[in-house]
Chains A and B, each alone.
Chain A
């Protein structure tokens, strides 16, 4: 039982390049989330998916797209990376709204030059 896994762990992009961050969970959770973590700003929600086939914007969705490929996988895509997207990205999942703990992955550290 690996919990929440994220790939890659580190990535360096040039401005304008695109990439997809992958997230998978093996806990049969319904809801999945993407956050970014920046110094002094805590964790901010980018997008979330309450169930397979649905996605919704969070607090900072601009410049990102997501895909809930199936119940296990939730990917985050940067179509044209900008230096302001340099951050650590975390994926999280939770069984459902009656449950209380979000489980986080280990993060992806992204640098855009």
Chain B
């Protein structure tokens, strides 16, 4: 049972272009939506995150767009650079009654930026 669906599985974008990765969820208990970036041989690292009470968050070239009614959110990378080539995971958080946090991850998108 995949609670967070991510697409596309892989993406090739030219340098300077816009990279867009999409995620969708069903569980309305999710309360926080981070994106993680992973380089080969490394652990994932937090890139940017959004709470569902805002529709957009921008940090530099990275923007999250969030559509609560459609239960969808997406990552936009503007002016994509070869150094952005990595695997990107969307995630969604739930908190238990005891405040225990759990993240559910999407399946990942391998992004390649070509010169």
Once the chains bind, are A31 and B101 in contact (CB under 8 Å)? yes
User: Considering only CB atoms, which chain A residue lies closest to B42 in the complex?
Assistant: A106
Contact for A104 among B41, B43, B95, B107, CB less than 8 A: B43
Q: Does B100 lie at the interface of the complex (its beta carbon under 8 Å from any beta carbon of A)? A: yes
Once the chains bind, are B100 and A56 in contact (CB under 8 Å)? yes
Digit string of B15-53 for contact with A (CB within 8 Å is 1, else 0)?
000000000000000001010100001111110010000
Size of the chain A interface, CB-CB below 8 angstroms: 26
Once the chains bind, are B44 and A104 in contact (CB under 8 Å)? yes
User: Considering only CB atoms, which chain B residue lies closest to A104 in the complex?
Assistant: B43
Q: Does A58 lie at the interface of the complex (its beta carbon under 8 Å from any beta carbon of B)? A: yes
User: Considering only CB atoms, which chain B residue lies closest to A35 in the complex?
Assistant: B105
Which residues 35-58 of A have a CB within 8 angstroms of B? 35, 40-45, 48, 50, 56, 58
Which residues 62-80 of A have a CB within 8 angstroms of B? none
Q: Does B102 lie at the interface of the complex (its beta carbon under 8 Å from any beta carbon of A)? A: yes
Q: Does B73 lie at the interface of the complex (its beta carbon under 8 Å from any beta carbon of A)? A: no
User: Considering only CB atoms, which chain B residue lies closest to A41 in the complex?
Assistant: B107
Once the chains bind, are B100 and A31 in contact (CB under 8 Å)? yes
- Bound-complex Cα distance A109 to B105 (A): 19
Known: A90-B43, A104-B45. A45 touches B6 (CB 8 A): no
Once the chains bind, are B44 and A43 in contact (CB under 8 Å)? yes
Q: Does B12 lie at the interface of the complex (its beta carbon under 8 Å from any beta carbon of A)? A: no
Sorted nearest first, the 3 A-B pairs with minimum C-beta distance are: A104-B43, A97-B99, A42-B105
